Chains A and B, each alone.
Chain A
Amino acid sequence: MDGKELKALKKKNKIKESKTDYVYYSICGVILLLLAVIIIYPLYYIVIASVSDPSAVVNGEVWLYPIKMTFSGYANLFNRSDVWQGYFNTLVYTVVGTVFNIVLTIPAGWALSRDYLPFRKVIMPLLIITMFFGGGLVPYIAVCTALGLYQSPFIMIIGGGVSVYNVFMCKSFFQTNVPKEVLEAAQIDGAGEVRTFFDIVLPLAKSIISVMILFYAVGHWNNYIDALIFQVEPDYWPLQTVLKALLETSAGEGEVAAEQFLIAKQVQFTSIIIATVPILILYPMIEKHFGQGVLVGSFK
């Protein structure tokens, strides 16, 4: 077989190969695109419904583009003091709560990542057990009640203070991302455990801290249930609990006059948007830190 023939054969094979691959890539692309549409459409629908004339929305005319654009829904929403109060409360809970979470979680992850940690063999199982077994909801409430957290807004900050899962994520991050040489050098220079942590480990931990901030902040921002199970006063409700009430009250009560019904309907759409936008802004800023090391580490 001379070179020319071989070349021709290769070319032929290549075409054949890329044909089956071409079919595969097309199908793959179509499926992935379809999934993208399925994700985007509901979000898009809420957005166009929030800026459309509510009667058009209620009649089902709005599904592809806004009809009779109006921003009265947003205006009505911002006139509601309960929504503002909820927003403010959620901001406080999220900021203070997340700081509390980070202060507990990052150092714990660091300590667990060191094999010279005294009592490590006791502490590890102590933490792992809580991932698979717990006392349950009622005893949890009973304990919090004994601590004076029932009906107290502080539960919104203190509840869920440590996620053991997150601690382990930090642990494996530190295990793989802090070079031993640097730590040893610091030790020679006389840095104790505390200085080592603040001067060497923390500056290396920016990406895991960002991811932890995202996870915990989203948890606080989206939390609606604690305010209900701990019977927190409505004045201290976070935004999501206010939103829940808002979405449920006006859902289908025939008593309300038609116009009020429409306004309420529109406010529902707008409230969903203002409750979600901050998260969807925060998330892409931190998304770049979802490096493999950060998330894969959570296993084992």
Chain B
Amino acid sequence: MKNNFEGATMTAEMPTAQLSENDILIEQAYEALAGEAVSAPENGVVNNKKPSKWEKWKANFKRRGWILLFILPALIYVIIFCYAPMYGILIAFQDYGHGDPIVGQDTVWVGWENFNMFFSDPNFWNYFTNTFLLCFFGFIIGFPLPIIVALLLNSLRAKKVKKGLQILYYAPHFISLVVMVGMLKMIFGSDGLLDKIAGGNGLELFLKPEAFRPLFIFSGNWQDFGWSAIIYLAALSGVDPALHEAAKVDGASRFRRIFSVDLPAIAPTIVMLMILSIGNLMSCGYEKVILMQTDGNRLTSEIISTFVYNFGLGNDGNPGLGTAAGLFNSVINVALLVIANFTSKKLANQSMW
């Protein structure tokens, strides 16, 4: 992808003049250096044989292996905080108490009991459908909205207005969930603004199960439609203006050009994000749901991840059950991602891996 802004700052800081003077010299020296490192063995005898892959690797490692130091801290972190918890999935098969070692001498193995307990929970299907519907409706509304916004913004001719709107549209993304839900309650909650305007007879939207999903999805889109549009806007700014000119000459109106120039240009991005979104159809984070959950709306607001939060944590919780439920959810997510990726590979010849 072209990147004018970064490119400009970069070349400005580059010592260009010096570079061009030494260009050839550097190239020669570099070749010599690389050649030496690869083909001169320890004993000093010149080796004319082409170096094997392993030898090349070894030479490279010797010469530039220090770069591993840069990735090492992050790698160690990921192994401890991402891979060790994967090992911790074993908790799903244990009668685990908070603070126990993941596998120790006293570990009580219970097989699939935790899974059975989760699946035979009378509310299991309720949790399952709640999770799916919340994400699904969120997807139906939240997926096209940023595309439309990006297309409209991109067609604006006044660049300053466009820039100003962009800054405004991105801003809500940075508001915290606590503040977001707080605002939501101040406007839609009991004795909130809407309640008063509607006559103060107690709308109590936060106690109504049927209001939970609209509130959740509406506020989620309010926060993120602008932010999600960034990626499309970036793709749109890579469109060759000549295409627009050509379409104009052919008599295409600006509206028409959205469909014949802009949309085809961002189609690959749309497909890519679609795969990712479908892979996320069962993963709504619990952080916001927890904030919006009340005893009144639990019927629709209890999703699998909030079940884990509500029943799997702390001293009273059942960690084994929580792990099993969480694992069930993430296995579905991975399966969805693989299916979505496979489908798009077949249909659109585009995939993530």
Whether A42 sits at the interface, judged by CB under 8 Å, is yes
Q: Are B186 and A136 in contact (CB under 8 A)?
A: no
Kindly identify which residue among A38, A138, A182 contacts B222, using a CB–CB cutoff of 8 Å.
A38
Q: In whole angstroms, what is the CA distance A251 to B305 when docked?
A: 25
State the B residues within 8 Å of A (CB). 1-7, 9-10, 13-15, 19, 22-23, 26-27, 29-30, 33, 57, 60-61, 64-71, 73-75, 77-78, 80-89, 91, 96, 98-102, 149, 152-153, 155-157, 165, 167-172, 174-179, 181-183, 185-187, 189-191, 193, 195-197, 200, 222, 225-226, 230-231, 234-235, 237-238, 251, 253-255, 269, 272, 279, 287, 290-291, 305, 308-309, 312-314, 319, 322-323, 326-327, 329-330, 333-334, 337
The answer to whether A138 and B70 touch (CB under 8 A), given A272-B179, A295-B231, A299-B231, is no
Q: Are A185 and B22 in contact (CB under 8 A)?
A: yes
Kindly identify which residue among B10, B171, B191 contacts A39, using a CB–CB cutoff of 8 Å.
B171
| A interface bracket (residues with beta carbon within 8 Å of B) | 35 or more
Q: How far is the CB of A156 from chain B (nearest CB, A)?
A: 14
List 22 A-B pairs, Cβ < 8 Å: A42-B222, A46-B183, A104-B73, A111-B68, A132-B279, A135-B82, A143-B80, A147-B80, A177-B10, A204-B13, A221-B176, A222-B175, A224-B178, A241-B178, A243-B179, A247-B181, A252-B191, A280-B171, A292-B4, A293-B5, A293-B7, A294-B6
Besides the contacts A138-B319, A292-B4, A292-B238, what 11 more A-B pairs have beta carbons closer than 8 Å? A39-B222, A58-B191, A60-B197, A110-B70, A127-B78, A138-B322, A244-B291, A247-B185, A283-B174, A291-B5, A299-B269
Q: Are B309 and A137 in contact (CB under 8 A)?
A: yes
Q: In whole angstroms, what is the CA distance A32 to B226 when docked?
A: 11
Whether A161 sits at the interface, judged by CB under 8 Å, is yes
Kindly identify which residue among A31, A161, A192, A194 contacts B152, using a CB–CB cutoff of 8 Å.
A31
Q: In whole angstroms, what is the CA distance A193 to B156 when docked?
A: 46
Instruction: Classify the secondary structure of A's interface with B.
Output: helix
Kindly identify which residue among A32, A46, A116 contacts B67, using a CB–CB cutoff of 8 Å.
A116
Whether A8 sits at the interface, judged by CB under 8 Å, is no
State the A residues within 8 Å of B (CB). 13, 17, 20-21, 24-25, 28-29, 31-32, 35-36, 38-40, 42, 45-46, 49, 58-60, 63, 103-105, 107-108, 110-112, 114, 116-119, 123, 126-127, 130, 132-147, 150, 159, 161-162, 164, 167, 173, 176-179, 181-182, 184-185, 187-188, 192-194, 197, 203-204, 207, 218, 221-222, 224-225, 229, 231, 240-241, 243-244, 247, 251-252, 268-269, 272, 275-276, 279-280, 283-284, 287, 290-297, 299
